[in-house]
Amino acid sequence: MARVQFPDGAFCDEPRHTDADVTDWPGGTPLRFRPHGDGFTLDSTFDYDSIESVYVHVQALFRPYDPLDHEDLDDRDDIYSALDQRKEYRSLFASVCQVCESEGIAVLPEEQNYALLPEEQNYALQERKPWQLRLFEQQDLPIPDTLFKNDPDEVRAFYDDHDEVIYKPTSRGAPPTVVEEEDLSPGRRSKVETAPVQFQEFVPGNDLRVYVLDGEVVGAMRYESEAFSFKIDQHENRSVDVTAATISGEVRETAVQAAEALGLTFGAADFRLTPDGDHRLLELNPAPANAGADEFAGQNVATAVADYLTDPDRSPGG
């Protein structure tokens, strides 16, 4: 149960509240989030400007480290699918709470302090794609038009508004897939109701990764793959080649601003580079691997990280 308090206004002396009951999740409860939106839908619809504070009663679904603590999982044969389903709900819900915090709304318990260890904080940050994209949009960084939703009718409308659309997890774990017309048939669309899904306008071009450390770009590489996304080739166990990339000042600035928006000293920004030289920011990885960039693309990311960590002039924690 998430309890949201609103300002009193002229109607009563005591602040009123609205409940977003999530005790039936996973289920068909309406969910909606747009990075550029003025609010969100979690059972009820809320506008950020109208929310004064949020109190979250955290049920077991949103505890990321004991997902087996659910009696309803005992009867599920597809245990891995069930756990993935809960991960998608958790990603959207935690992102909404963190967006509320970034909007200056009091949230208890505080989402930003929910993870105790640095590695847990990185893990949470990587899973909260809706929150990431919201922060990027607020910084006017170029991101693809994106919809997080479990309503099949709105998915159809989003599809009709774009030349091509892909879908992928709300959090992480699966490669992007192009939405085909048959995916929008009544039988296929009904599957959207089982969990929130990320729908995104397709950006033609190449995949690019840019490494940022302490406000500076320390490496960049371009993926060479058979499919439109290198993640598809990786998922299908095909080789993916990487090459050194020369990036524009605009891409460099976007990568640095993305890291600053998330408060990260080190991270890797993933982009799509269009044939006409434009770029779109997809996400920022807070704990990126760099061996491939260094070994196969001639970068020196590991050296830059080591130099940063051993710099005698760097203050602890800075």
CATH number of the domain residue 169 falls in: 3.30.1490
**Contact present, 204 and 162 (Cβ < 8 Å):** no
- 113 pLDDT band, cuts 50/70/90, is very low
Range of the structural domain that residue 277 is part of: 206-309
Q: CATH number, domain at 241?
A: 3.30.470.20
Q: Are residues 16 and 132 in the same domain?
A: yes
pTM of the predicted model, to two decimals?
0.75
Q: What pLDDT, on a 0 to 100 scale, did the predictor assign at position 11?
A: 38
Comparing 21 with 90, the larger pLDDT belongs to 90
Per-residue pLDDT averaged across 46-58, rounded? 80
The domain boundary residue, chosen from 118, 138, 158: 138
**Strand ordering across the sheet containing 216-224:** 241-244, 216-224, 206-213, 266-273, 279-285
- In sequence order, what E strands does the chain have? 2-5, 17-20, 31-33, 39-42, 44-47, 53-56, 106-108, 146-149, 165-168, 177-178, 197-201, 206-213, 216-224, 241-244, 266-273, 279-285
Q: Are residues 191 and 211 in the same domain?
A: no
The DSSP output letter for 16 is P
pLDDT tens-digit map of 284-297: 988 888 888 999 99
Return all residues near 85 (Cβ < 8 A) that are at least 6 apart.
Answer: 26, 194, 195
**Contact present, 106 and 7 (Cβ < 8 Å):** no
24-38, 107-121, 195-209: least confident range: 107-121
Question: Is it the case that residue 1 has pLDDT exceeding 70?
Answer: no
Q: Are residues 107 and 154 in the same domain?
A: no
What is the sign, positive or negative, of the torsion defined by CA atoms of 66, 55, 44, 47? negative
Per-residue pLDDT averaged across 57-80, rounded? 55
Question: Is it the case that residue 301 has pLDDT exceeding 90?
Answer: yes
Q: Encoding tokens for residue 291?
A: 């061996």
Q: How far is CA 174 from CA 24, 108, 144, 198, 213, in A?
A: 25, 32, 18, 11, 27
Question: Is it the case that residue 34 has pLDDT exceeding 50?
Answer: yes
- % of the chain surpassing 90 pLDDT: 31
Q: Are residues 228 and 151 in the same domain?
A: no
- 104 pLDDT band, cuts 50/70/90, is confident
Residue 158 counted as domain residue: yes
- 188 pLDDT band, cuts 50/70/90, is low
Q: Are residues 275 and 229 in the same domain?
A: yes
Q: Are residues 103 and 150 in the same domain?
A: no
d(CA 257, CA 305): 19
